Structure 1
């Protein structure tokens, strides 16, 4: 044993230093002290000397720059430059456009949770809250979604006027230009509430406040452009749209074939330098009604009018609707969610250079402008829409499951329904936390490139799951369209959110990890920049500093992954209270595992990693779930650690951790270099996978929160339109829940009397009358049961129509082919 002791000391001290990320000099000193102590305590002298020599062989070359730089760093720099994947201009712009927030800590393998907890709790200003309580509430009351989606296929004129008059299109426009000057959080809360009553209304309001002319003008517009257009956009004199997508360029926006040729032309009676645009766009929201069109195109200068550069690059311009040559096409019809959306095209449409957003100075900088603004818009509109729909579906479905009875029981008492209710509750809680977190990041001044893609992808995917589960619980109530249906349109519209602003398949497999692995990693981007420095000495020094920081980082994450795997992450410093501390520790484990897998993948695969989309998607899932769980814990802390919310927090957290392990497992089992995958598995899962999906017991607790009036349910419903109006059936059903719960004991007593007391009446009214006459219920209880029956009828009723009402306005019976009758 005395022979093995020095080597054991060497191993343990090294592991201890790596776990705590000590400097190499500190490790060397600790090892020396430990070896001396081992010698004095009786360790074998020769073994101790051998261990000391090993320590010296490692430490001396690495600690002495005169040895390390020429013999180790320089050869590694040469190798690195050979395997360094070339970055396209598109990729370079995307990386440089974003900022890194707390997601960078999650990629560190050792998150500083205080950074997250020190972020201010998201709060609305008094002005924003007043707007939500006033004009937004009123707009929701005006909304009749059936009239919008089926009868008109549009908002009624009075709603358009109300939206413009109350500056809904100018929420993000600064006050000095006549807008409301709301924060990103205020924008999020408005869209969330509107989406809870109609996705058409939320889309109509959301798009002008997302990526579009106003956002782009605020960041890049000339002063003249701001002074002219922003006041008109704020008060609705201009209705904007932004034309990016076309038939040949969807998710691959940089490949747009639409072009503009620099030339001379006439504009307002003068001959000026401008651009002749030829374009073909589709899927453009608000295009059919827009008066101001933002246009993305590739700009060329074949005659050298502006300089030597012929392909100037992607540029952005503003086109008034009346500009000659623009053809506003007919409307698209997106899945029975008929927000204004359609194609537009033009051939040799001339505009002066003054119509370029930012003027001539921003010619060719369109992709950079788009990427910077996309991360803002993607953080808000679609996540907020998913949040509003999911939260309303949660409370309405919970009420419906309590009201609707089958086999003498509320359907929410059946375990199969409880499983779906639990998913609804957990996903709605998660969407709410995640969408608010991404909006808060924008409000803090960040450009959250990675969080925006995480939020867009996962909010819309979870929103689709909520819609599916709600439809399953409602059954026939959900599939029969009409004024009483509050789910059907949301179900039909769910694929829209999956598709727009970057298709979700591409977002998951290419963007989340592809961007995060470089942008969020503490060393990779620094190494890449160091390797491209022009000064040779500076390049070597900077690369040396970042390289060995990265090596220590990787060793630390391997040690931390193994330790957390062996101990189940039960130990270690973590914030939170007695309930949540274990959650933070688990996230420490998966943060280290993600960092280890990312480093290994980038080292072994290099530039080929971008083509390993399944691996990238799975590692992106891990990063996403880390960010999601962080948002959940931050929300729990911001709300004051409410005990009533713990079932929702726990269900959402365990669901996320289970998904993390599934994704890590799939990534390692399918790792391209199989032996390395086996080694990573041994480090990350030394005792096998342990995370389980939320238990049935926890699911029942989460489901019961939706079916009972309580403070956790109220917090979940915060910010959505639950006012019980004639055109808001979901709000009416939700409002019935307290009375339904109070009436249930009376109902049970009455049903028992029906079975055991020989009541002979057949109709409900006669049975009640007999029950009062016989003394089984009181007159007050009779009124209570009558009210319960009325609420139940309203909750379960569906619509029916005259056949002519369902025919298209263009239908003519005499135009239909006649069938032969045998």
Structure 2
């Protein structure tokens, strides 16, 4: 028995040594000391063969020449055979962009003092004023039904307002006439517009995300910036960007479009330039664009600019009126925003139209990957956040206004199961927006923005579907009164663009995450292709550190699992919620890092093809980031019961999804025994349960129907019309009135239920109540006003037989009056 205890003690001591990240020499000394002490309890540890094995292992660890000969060199040979070659586009994608807090989480040992110092972005006075004035005025001009079903475009007045007021220059520096807003402010502007009209939001967001403006700002020559940026900021030029084509969608690196270096006459002079042939589709704003950003493969068969023939992907800025350009046709993506194909046959451009000039030839893929961050991290999450918040505000209000079986439908627990998801999901989206835009203010984190795009749009899909379920026929029947159906129609668009969600989840998030966020992997792969002298020594250093890292996070996950994370205290956050939840993130970070390393070790390059496993690892990493976002956002808000209830629900959902992905990964590892071992090591007392309870569901299901601090925060972030004849405004106004007369209305319902107000109509009942002294004349008038608003909220549009003209006829026949 003492021998068993000694063996367990050695395991724990070893785990502590690795967890503390002791130096190689210090760790070996500590381990040897523990081994010899264990010999006092069991002769096994001091047996000559055991001591010899100990000395050999320690010698290999400490002596560089031995380690290189017996470990690193054989490993290098084996790994070269296992790992697939990296394509040039993969290498460019990995070199592009930056990393942020997601790298700390991947490390398995996050620096929480670093995270504590991160302050979420706030709006400047000018940014807030733009939201309150220009953005609100734009929203008031928009009628999505008219845009979508009649005009099939924004009105000329709206387009002019957008151009005149700087909406196309949100990201452009002030020196060029732009607004130079922060990523957070850009997101807030797009989100507020999206709460009113997805068509208008898309029209504004595209010039401010992946497009000529951002590419020019980062890579353009001084002449290009001076010429184009002021025109773009003022709306004198309307840009689009041509990337995808019939044979290159999500695999944009495989674009077949070509540019050939040649000399040709341009504006009366013979100049060096590029002849372009291309076919692009699904290009937003293409039908009305005056200038096209274009990605293509450049070649120089005549050696006019150098010895290389194939020069790689490059980008150019092409005026839409050049000879050979065909532009103006429209696709119909189910929404009325401008989207269409562009083709070009023998379109000649001078070298001055290459973005960045000849210095950036062949660097187009790097440029594009870095600039994708705005679309992935700002624009699409902004659309999603607006969708979640409008679902919260309008569905929560409708669930209280609409009554069935004598109570609001929002009080049925089946409905609350969906409405609580809307509440928690909307809170998560706002929190996620706050963290990701803060990251974008520091750089261009490609992995984090890929996570944001995928999880924001997928969560919008879930919340909008729940909304449609709760609203039922009120949301299904199309018409100018419908406040949800057009949002529902735009969901697949957001899912598809800026990298299809299936590909983003299964290949990009963990594929790029492992390479960009792992402390050693990318350097090791580079060392494997190094044929120079000293390559083995370099690889040995990286491999040694990698193995120590793996042992460290494995040990940390084991120790935190052994104590169930009960004794972990982190100097992060300022609330009781933070005290409870940050240690959980810390623990799962170590588990994730160790699991990812074992996956890479056991599967090697095959993990790239095991997309189901890669997707689950990406989900784990993403949920850790989301949980951090929720806690950071919660602590950033004024303390309130609503803030904490929403945050805790969202955290439980995040960790529940995390557990599902982690356990799914363990169950489906090709080496099933390893999955069972890892689960047992990291969760010796069982996997924690983070499922939301029925009480959680009931709590948020009730709260979404009432005024609360989270509802107020969402209302501030969107545009809510005060017009009671507007699709959204009619629900909003009725809900506002109900909250004001809530006590009187409940009293009226109680009197009605007891039979104290006999009568056929609402008017008769109220008149009787006044005569009996149950209500004052003023109270009765307010109740009558609400009843009219309530009934009006329930109506859906009807049309003539040809579905052309609305004929809703909202007046109630007397027989249907309450």
How far off is 1:4 after superposition? 4.8
Uncovered stretches (5+) of structure 2, i.e. residues with no partner: 807-818
Aligned residues of 1:195 and 1:202 also touching (Cα < 8 A): yes
Greater displacement, 159-168 / 144-153:
144-153
Q: Deviations over 1:332-352 (max 9, x none)?
A: 1111x2101111212111211
Q: Which residue of 2 aligns with 1:541?
A: 537
Task: Check if 1:238 corresponds to 2:234.
Answer: no
Uncovered stretches (5+) of structure 1, i.e. residues with no partner: 809-822
Q: Which residue of 2 aligns with 1:348?
A: 346
How far off is 1:294 after superposition? 1.0
Greater displacement, 591-600 / 641-650:
641-650
Task: Check if 1:372 corresponds to 2:370.
Answer: yes
Greater displacement, 280-289 / 311-320:
311-320
2:781 to 780, 783, 786: 783
Q: Which residue of 1 aligns with 2:465?
A: 468
Q: 1:9 to 1:759 in 2, by over 3 A?
A: closer
SS in 2 for 1:484: coil
Q: 2:379, 2:120 → 1: CA distance?
A: 21
Q: Which residue of 2 aligns with 1:26?
A: 26
Instruction: Please give the residue correspondences for 1:174-253 in structure 2 after superposition, counting only pairs within 5 Å.
Output: 174-253=173-252
Q: Which residue of 1 aligns with 2:618?
A: 620
Q: 1:550, 1:796 → 2: CA distance?
A: 62
1:357 to 341, 352, 355: 355
Q: 1:103, 1:643 → 2: CA distance?
A: 29
Greater displacement, 69-78 / 368-377:
69-78
Q: Which residue of 1 aligns with 2:813?
A: none
Instruction: Please give the residue correspondences for 1:283-362 in structure 2 after superposition, counting only pairs within 5 Å.
Output: 283-335=282-334, 337-362=335-360
Aligned residues of 1:13 and 1:27 also touching (Cα < 8 A): no
SS in 2 for 1:579: helix
How far off is 1:692 after superposition? 3.4
Q: Which residue of 2 aligns with 1:751?
A: 749
Q: 1:665, 1:505 → 2: CA distance?
A: 21
Q: Which residue of 1 aligns with 2:701?
A: 703
How far off is 1:35 after superposition? 5.5
Q: Which residue of 2 aligns with 1:11?
A: 11
Q: 2:379, 2:739 → 1: CA distance?
A: 36
Greater displacement, 189-198 / 261-270:
261-270
SS in 1 for 2:107: coil
SS in 1 for 2:576: coil
Instruction: Please give the residue correspondences for 1:85-164 in structure 2 after superposition, counting only pairs within 5 Å.
Output: 85-164=84-163
SS in 2 for 1:536: coil
Q: Deviations over 1:8-37 (max 9, x none)?
A: 442221122223333333333334554666
Q: Which residue of 1 aligns with 2:665?
A: 667
Aligned residues of 1:709 and 1:737 also touching (Cα < 8 A): no
SS in 1 for 2:293: strand
Q: 2:305, 2:44 → 1: CA distance?
A: 78
SS in 1 for 2:577: coil
Q: 1:385, 1:541 → 2: CA distance?
A: 50
How far off is 1:82 after superposition? 3.0
Q: 1:35 to 1:515 in 2, by over 3 A?
A: closer
Aligned residues of 1:378 and 1:501 also touching (Cα < 8 A): yes
2:559 to 549, 558, 563: 563
How far off is 1:649 after superposition? 0.8
Q: 1:267, 1:22 → 2: CA distance?
A: 67
How far off is 1:807 after superposition? 8.7
How far off is 1:45 after superposition? 6.3
Q: 1:452, 1:755 → 2: CA distance?
A: 54
2:394 to 393, 396, 400: 396
How far off is 1:166 after superposition? 0.5
Q: 2:349, 2:411 → 1: CA distance?
A: 65
Q: 1:584 to 1:293 in 2, by over 3 A?
A: same
Q: Which residue of 2 aligns with 1:487?
A: 484
Q: 1:311, 1:209 → 2: CA distance?
A: 31
How far off is 1:66 after superposition? 4.0
Q: 1:291, 1:103 → 2: CA distance?
A: 39
Q: 1:431 to 1:774 in 2, by over 3 A?
A: same
How far off is 1:267 after superposition? 1.2
Q: 1:105 to 1:642 in 2, by over 3 A?
A: farther
Q: Which residue of 2 aligns with 1:504?
A: 501
How far off is 1:90 after superposition? 0.8
Q: 1:789 to 1:275 in 2, by over 3 A?
A: same
Task: Check if 1:74 corresponds to 2:73.
Answer: yes
How far off is 1:733 after superposition? 2.3
1:554 to 550, 563, 569: 550
Q: Which residue of 2 aligns with 1:721?
A: 719
Aligned residues of 1:85 and 1:606 also touching (Cα < 8 A): no
Aligned residues of 1:5 and 1:38 also touching (Cα < 8 A): no
Q: 1:176, 1:27 → 2: CA distance?
A: 57
Aligned residues of 2:288 and 2:328 also touching (Cα < 8 A): no
1:522 to 510, 519, 529: 519
Aligned residues of 2:15 and 2:559 also touching (Cα < 8 A): no
Q: Which residue of 1 aligns with 2:737?
A: 739
Aligned residues of 1:35 and 1:52 also touching (Cα < 8 A): no
Aligned residues of 1:6 and 1:47 also touching (Cα < 8 A): no
Aligned residues of 1:245 and 1:282 also touching (Cα < 8 A): yes
Aligned residues of 1:705 and 1:712 also touching (Cα < 8 A): no
Aligned residues of 1:329 and 1:345 also touching (Cα < 8 A): no
Q: 1:393, 1:456 → 2: CA distance?
A: 19
SS in 1 for 2:706: coil
Q: Which residue of 1 aligns with 2:264?
A: 265
SS in 2 for 1:250: coil
Q: Deviations over 1:32-79 (max 9, x none)?
A: 55466667xx63567456676554433233123343333433333333
How far off is 1:802 after superposition? 2.7
How far off is 1:490 after superposition? 0.2
Aligned residues of 1:442 and 1:448 also touching (Cα < 8 A): yes
Greater displacement, 263-272 / 404-413:
263-272
Q: 1:61 to 1:363 in 2, by over 3 A?
A: closer
Q: 2:47, 2:631 → 1: CA distance?
A: 50
Greater displacement, 523-532 / 127-136:
523-532
Greater displacement, 466-475 / 493-502:
466-475
Aligned residues of 2:411 and 2:701 also touching (Cα < 8 A): no
Q: 2:52, 2:12 → 1: CA distance?
A: 17
SS in 1 for 2:72: helix
Task: Check if 1:418 corresponds to 2:416.
Answer: yes
How far off is 1:674 after superposition? 2.6
Aligned residues of 1:433 and 1:632 also touching (Cα < 8 A): yes
Aligned residues of 1:376 and 1:448 also touching (Cα < 8 A): no
Aligned residues of 2:257 and 2:297 also touching (Cα < 8 A): yes
Aligned residues of 1:290 and 1:321 also touching (Cα < 8 A): yes
Q: Which residue of 2 aligns with 1:57?
A: 56
Q: 1:263 to 1:36 in 2, by over 3 A?
A: closer
Q: 1:2, 1:370 → 2: CA distance?
A: 63
How far off is 1:804 after superposition? 4.3
Q: Which residue of 2 aligns with 1:644?
A: 642
Q: Which residue of 1 aligns with 2:809?
A: none
